[in-house]
Structure 1
Amino acid sequence: MKNTRRIMAGLLSGVLAVSGVAQLPAAVAEDSSTGSYDMQIAVKLDGTRKAISPYIYGVNDSFSETGLSKVKVNAVRQGGNRYTGYNWETNYSNAGRDWQNSSDTYLGDVTEGPASNARRLSADCATYGIPYKMTGLQMAGYVSADKNGAVSESEAAPSDRWNKVEFEKGSAFSDEPDLDDGVVYMDEYVNYLVKNLGDSTTATGIQGYNLDNEPVLWSGSHSLLHPNMVSNEELISKTVGLAKAVKKIDPHAETFGPAFWGPLACYQAGNGDSYTDPDWTAVKSQYSWYMDYYLKQMADAEAENGQRLLDVVDVHYYAQDLETADDALQSARSLYDPDYQEDSWLGKYFGGVFPFLTRMQESIDQYYPGTKLALTEYNLENINMDSTLGKVPASAIAEAEALGAFADQGVYLAAYWGKLAECPYVLSAINLYTNYDGAGSAFGNTLVESSSEDLSKAAVFASIQDDQEGTVTTVLSNKSKTDTEKATIQLSGTETDYQSAVVYAVTQDSSDIQILDVQNDVSGNQVTVELPPLSVAQIVIADEKTDVVVPDGPAYTTEKVDYTVSDLPKSQEGYARIPLGDKEYLKEIQLHMQVSSSEGSTWAVGGGALCFQKVTETGTNTPYWGCKNFSYQLNSGTVTVP
């Protein structure tokens, strides 16, 4: 790992928090459990193999791009409730019931130019080397016409607070959209993106388009722009119309729909016990759930129009009735384990939707073969208290098992929903697959057959790269809160003679990926590892000896150090400066600051920059500078005056 030394020059005092790959202290490994249990793990290299889509390692771009600097992903989805009322011409959007039906600049302003969010997405993904980008298109009928705050019931669409959405313009596209015609055109939006970013086949273009977001909830989430429950006829006709508009402009772009909020919508089409739809009611006896009928209609649309209009069937998945971290430990099993009975309201009353991914694929195979499957929003550790999301060891275990389930069930794309920068255990679980050693090493692209004796205690997924059996990467969890798992991994069905194993893990003692063990004495293609309670590991088994070693001590300190600007030396320009060598190997800087504004104000904005002079450890003669800008915005609430 390449280390750098950095100098900080800033105008604000901050708290430095640094962490990274580190050795698990021996005392923790010995004393953190009250017992142990044995687990037999089988990896059959002559068994079933499945290609793994790289896009299952994805996240939502709903919060700050700062999270992208901490996690290696291959797909970013831009969507959510805000995008239903998003006006690409001005960047104004509407919050719906999430916040006072407010139309505002939460997603951007007209001064940033058309489609600023999609353009920013392209730039961010270029920065972090993320190949797949998707954004949302508007299908509900209206988008924000202004940024004037809360929309009242009397101003519901159609009114001057809204612009109408049309899928096709029917005339020549403008280089810059007309902001005064009261209409936004979806084909002009896609055309604008293609002209400015390139089409879906380019590195900077948009590869996928969400055909809006959670349509069966529009009457609740966006009642002022779509007050009535969406019908089957409206959903299908709008899906077909919008998809055709996209394909005319960018034929290779992939369309995603219907973006249902969860399994219940897949089962009964609408939301709520009182919902009935004449189309669905007339045929429901012929199908096991609504998703069958939806896919059949999209297959019929392809036959009628002579082209595929739905490339990816898209659903959202949030674990239900999770009260504690204990519940999250088993939550991913509802995706793929036929022997698991979910103890939730969904499991009790709609148990036929599980295992969910298996159920979805069965519908695809029967009614619209060749359609890909995506979960463009998911969260398997959706514990009721939001403060715990992504911050407890159970989150890493649930996320790691979910990613393995996506690979096992042939999911094409998945995007985690959560505040990226605030979910350390989730981010490490993703990195365990995509960047377990901090140098880009990843889980293979081909899943090989593997199994554990008891999924309630340990889930396992194993892979190789292409058809090369020299390295087998195995993700294994220990769901016990108290006991160390003594796992024996037996590799069979191969002539390869494995020589070494390295155990990278996330534990309850640290959200960072740590090296727990290095073995250079593997024999008989059998590896025995010990995982502490509440941990998940990437075990890299290779046919050669490894030069990886367990670090003698932490590569990074987790110590937090306070600096006061007035006490720091100043540069000639007057910037506060942390001297070279004062703190080495910084991985993360957290700024904590008080925001002040005029008395009585309900908003505050500000920002600044941190600059780093980087000098490589090998002693380069030419230091170079890097800067990280930051900003903050408080849109509501009471701002106190110090």
Structure 2
Amino acid sequence: MPRLKRIKRPNLHTLLLGALLMSGAACTDATSGTPLPVAISVDAAAGRHPISPLIYGINFGTTAALQDLRAPVNRSGGNSASAYNWRIDARNAGKDWYFESLAVDPSDINDQFGERFVALTQAAGATPIVTIPMLGRVAKLGPARETLASFSIAKYGPQPNHDVNGHADAGNGVAPGGKPITGNDANDASTPDDPQNEQARVADLVKQFGGASGGGVRYYALDNEPSLWQLIHRDVHPIGAHASEIADKVIAYSRAVKAADPHAQIVAPEEWGWQGYFYSGFDQQYAADHGLDHTPDRTGETQGMPYVPWLLAQWKAAGHPVDVFSLHFYPQGGEYAETGVTNSQAVALMRNRSTRDLWDPNYKDPTWIDSVVALIPLMRHWVDTYYYPGTPIGITEYNWGGDTLMNGATAQADVLGIFGREGLDIATRWGTLDPSMPVYKAFKLYRNYDGNGAAFGATSIAANAPDPDTVSAFAALRERDHALTLVVINKQLDRPADAAVTLDHFAAGGVAETWRLANNQLFRLPDARYQDSTLRASLPAQSVTLFVLRGAQAQHE
């Protein structure tokens, strides 16, 4: 059942971009037999700053996965969380699954939103992020906990698609001819919700697990991608949310949560992506028919300010309702998709370079975004300018796709390295992870590469490679044994690389313990010696290599 959601925005440049990428791939093929020489520089005295351990989080992780990956944070979110009814343990994923309200399946990790999710997360020693609905209505069930449909075929007539494998009366909310059904009764499959009800939910969690300062739930995310309610949850919120609605609701629900647990940390606004950063749901809905010029909320409510910065300014004026500024981001060039082919050479090459969206002020996204993103610096600028400088920033949903591909693993390793280098405070990857996946092993290389808790260092230092689209590098110091940890990622699809790593302000010679992820296997290589402040290594195509460097002094400590 496809409950893990993502709404894709149209990519107007797909065909042209694919042709350009394929022509670039032909150049790669011509030199695939010759290793690419790469000069990497590492300076242990430059660029020093702590790496937040919370960047290695996931969504809907099992206890076993959380333990094996030493994942510090586990988020329960997604579209079902917007309409989760904690009193009856029921959810509604909206458009994702025929607008059905149905009982949560306790055996399905992707259905965990309540106390079970907190318990399984804490059992792994991880911190849960629990999502609090702000939609205003939550799921309801029939008298015997049976599934209810927002767009019953029996009530609203034939619809071109319905749930053939489950609740057959649940239609997709579209009338014959293709127009959405309007004027449905929201009471068919939902019941009203308000801040007081969610306050009672938090109070119940505090009663069971203690407060945030005493080992209970620390983070509460306020809803999920609210500027898409009119698409995902149009059965109960058919009109896009105005900017003022979201500003006011975050303040109200934050106060409700903190009334039950004063030490709880509020995570918001959890917006979906590029357009959702700049335009309210109401404006996005308006733009679908009229374009983005003269959108009503931008003109009337925010006085010309982009949506998210305006929200931050409103929240600052209200005190300090938000503790973590959070957004979602998915690359838009076909890298991540729940359906369709994502393993073409064109997509793989796009996946290699689009991680620049996270940091590079000189990279213009070539998709419909058609702009420089540089997301982490942008988020930091926004909180420092419009909210409280130094407020933690988080990307609580992201996914670069290619779960079963080494290309996906190299992208995931690149993303984790970027998070640490750029100073992101918290991140949780969207999507199911299991040990068979290369992307799972990319996490493990950073967090538990030897199976005994050994990890990438916690103090970022400078590491530079000439072309991060082909080979990228990230370095950090590890406090417990004074080792220098270096991740080098050969993203090239079919060409090895010969790396020469120069080391400044670290021991000139010593031993490099070497771990590698290649061909979906994570394994240890024989230790290598380095000398004259230079480490040399051959890197297979589509591989991630971790070097744990111990200088002569460290070896004798």
- Length-normalised TM-score, structure 1: 0.69
Higher helix residue share: 2
Structure 2 counterpart of 1:541: 549
User: Map of 1:37-436 to 2, 5 A cutoff?
Assistant: 37-61=36-60, 67-68=65-66, 70-108=68-106, 117-130=113-126, 132-146=127-141, 147-152=146-151, 156=184, 158-159=186-187, 161-168=189-196, 185-203=197-215, 205-270=216-281, 271-272=284-285, 273=287, 274=290, 278-282=296-300, 287=305, 289-302=306-319, 308-322=320-334, 323=342, 324-346=347-369, 348=370, 351-352=371-372, 354-368=373-387, 369-381=389-401, 389-421=402-434, 424-436=437-449
For residue 487 of structure 1, what is the aligned residue in structure 2? 499
1:566-607 per-position Cα deviation (integer Å, ceiling 9, x unaligned): xxxxxxxxxxxxxxxxxxxxxxxxxxxxxxxxxxxxxxxxxx
Structure 1 pair 246/277, CA: closer, same or farther in 2 (3 Å)?
farther
Distance 1:299 1:428, change over 3 A: same
Alpha-carbon offset, residue 68 of structure 1: 3.6
Contact 1:498 1:541 in 2 (8 A): no
1-structure distance, mates of 2:112, 2:386: 38
CA drift of 1:529 comes to 1.1
Question: Per-residue deviation at 1:277?
Answer: 5.8
* Alignment partners' CA distance in 2, 1:329 and 1:315: 22
Which shifted more, 133-142 or 317-326? 317-326
Alpha-carbon displacement from aligned partner over 1:611-633 (angstroms, at most 9, x marks no partner): xxxxxxxxxxxxxxxxxxxxxxx
State the Cα deviation string for residues 415-452 of structure 1 (Å, max 9, x = none): 11112127611111111110111111011111111111
Report the 3-state secondary structure (helix = DSSP H, G, I; strand = E; otherwise coil) of the residue aligned with 2:452.
Answer: coil
Q: Which residue in 1 is equivalent to 2:15?
A: none
**Alignment-mate amino acid for residue 143 of structure 1:** V
Higher mean Cα deviation, 410-419 or 188-197?
A: 410-419
Distance in 2, matches of 1:47 and 1:102, equals: 54
Alpha-carbon distance between aligned partners in 2 of 1:517 and 1:333, rounded to the nearest angstrom: 33
**2:380 corresponds to which letter in structure 1?**
Q
- Determine the structure 1 residue equivalent to 2:517: 506
1:524-576 deviation per Cα after TM superposition (whole angstroms, max 9, x unaligned): 222111110111111111124999xxxxxxxxxxxxxxxxxxxxxxxxxxxxx
Residues 156 and 224 in structure 1, CA contact (< 8 A), matched pair in contact too: yes
Larger RCO: 1 or 2 (CA < 8 Å, sep 6+): 1
Q: Which has the larger radius of gyration?
A: 1
Structure 1 letter corresponding to 2:527: V
Deviation at 1:91, TM superposition (A): 0.5
Q: 1:363-401 CA deviation, whole Å, 9 max, x = no partner? A: 1111112321111110022xxxxxxx3100111111111
1:448 corresponds in structure 2 to 461
Task: Tell me if structure 2 keeps the 8 A contact 1:66–1:421.
Answer: no
| Residues 219 and 279 of structure 1: CA distance in aligned 2, closer, same or farther (over 3 Å) | closer
Q: Matched residues in 2 for 1:459 and 1:373: separation? A: 24
Q: Does 1:526 align with 2:525?
A: no
Q: How far apart, in 1, do the equivalents of 2:251 and 2:272 lie?
A: 20
Aligned residue identity for 1:79: G
**Alpha-carbon offset, residue 284 of structure 1:** 5.8
SS in structure 2 of the partner of residue 47 of structure 1: coil
Q: How far apart are the structure 1 equivalents of 2:436 and 2:510?
A: 36
Amino acid at match of 2:278: Y
Write the distance in 2 (CA, Å) between the matches of 1:338 and 1:464. 27
Deviation at 1:465, TM superposition (A): 2.8
For 1:222 and 1:449, locate their aligned partners in 2 and report how far apart those are by CA, in whole Å: 45
Q: How many residues align?
A: 471
Deviation at residue 158 of structure 1 after TM alignment: 4.1
SS in 1 for 2:47: strand
Tell me: CA distance 1:117–1:345, structure 2 relative to 1, closer, same or farther (3 Å): closer
CA distance in 2, matches of 1:395, 1:286: 39
Q: Which residue of 2 aligns with 1:478?
A: 490
Show CA shifts across 1:332-368 (max 9, x none).
111112232322111x2xx04x112221211111111
**Conserved? CA contact 1:500–1:541, under 8 Å:** yes
- Paired with 1:264 and 1:76, the residues of 2 have a C-alpha distance of 26
Q: Deviations over 1:42-70 (max 9, x none)?
A: 111221212111110011017x6564465
Question: What is the DSSP-based 3-state SS (H/G/I as helix, E as strand, rest coil) of the residue aligned with 2:408?
Answer: helix
- Alpha-carbon distance between aligned partners in 1 of 2:545 and 2:551, rounded to the nearest angstrom: 19
Question: What's the offset of the Cα at 1:160?
Answer: 5.4
2:57 and 2:426 in contact (8 A); partners too: yes
Higher strand share: 1
What TM-score do you get using the length of structure 2 for normalisation?
0.79
| C-alpha deviation, 1:226, in angstroms | 1.2
Post-superposition offset of 1:493: 2.8
Unaligned 5+ residue runs, structure 2? 1-30, 157-182, 335-341
Name the CA distance, whole Å, in 2 between partners of 1:424 and 1:35. 29
**CA distance in 2: counterparts of 1:262 and 1:42, whole angstroms:** 34
- How far apart, in 1, do the equivalents of 2:200 and 2:263 lie? 17
Partner residue in 2 for 1:465: 478
Identity percentage of aligned residues? 28
- Provide the secondary structure at the position in 1 that maps to 2:212: coil
Does structure 1 retain, via aligned residues, the 8 Å contact 2:148–2:188? no
Letter in 1 for 2:386: Y
The AA in structure 2 aligned to 1:390 is: D
Aligned partner of 2:82: which letter? Answer: T
- What is the CA-CA distance between 1:165 and the residue it aligns to? 0.8
Query: Offset of 1:140 from its aligned partner?
Result: 0.6
Aligned-partner SS, 2:241: coil
Equivalent-residue separation in structure 2 for 1:541 and 1:36 (angstroms)? 24
SS at structure 1 position matched to 2:249: helix
Amino acid corresponding to residue 385 of structure 2 in structure 1: Q
Q: 2: distance between equivalents of 1:161 and 1:283? A: 32
Contact 1:143 1:165 in 2 (8 A): yes
- How far did 1:286 drift? 5.5
Instruction: State whether residues 77 and 224 of structure 2, in contact with CA within 8 Å, keep that contact through their aligned partners in structure 1.
Output: yes
What are the superposed Cα offsets for residues 297-328 of structure 1, whole Å, 9 maximum, x if unpaired?
111111xxxxx210111111111122522221
Q: What's the CA shift for 1:232? A: 0.7
Does structure 1 conserve the Cα–Cα contact (< 8 Å) formed by 2:67 and 2:125?
Answer: no
Contact 2:240 2:280 in 1 (8 A): no
Call closer, same or farther: CA 1:192–1:285 in 2, change over 3 Å: closer
- What RMSD over aligned residues (CA atoms) do the two structures have, in Å? 2.6
Supply the distance in 2 between the matched residues of 1:70 and 1:470 (Cα, whole angstroms). 24
SS for the counterpart of 1:35 is coil
| Residue 399 to residue 35, structure 1, CA distance change in 2 (3 Å) | same
Secondary structure of residue in 1 paired with 2:299: helix
Cα distance in structure 2, aligned partners of 1:269 and 1:94: 23
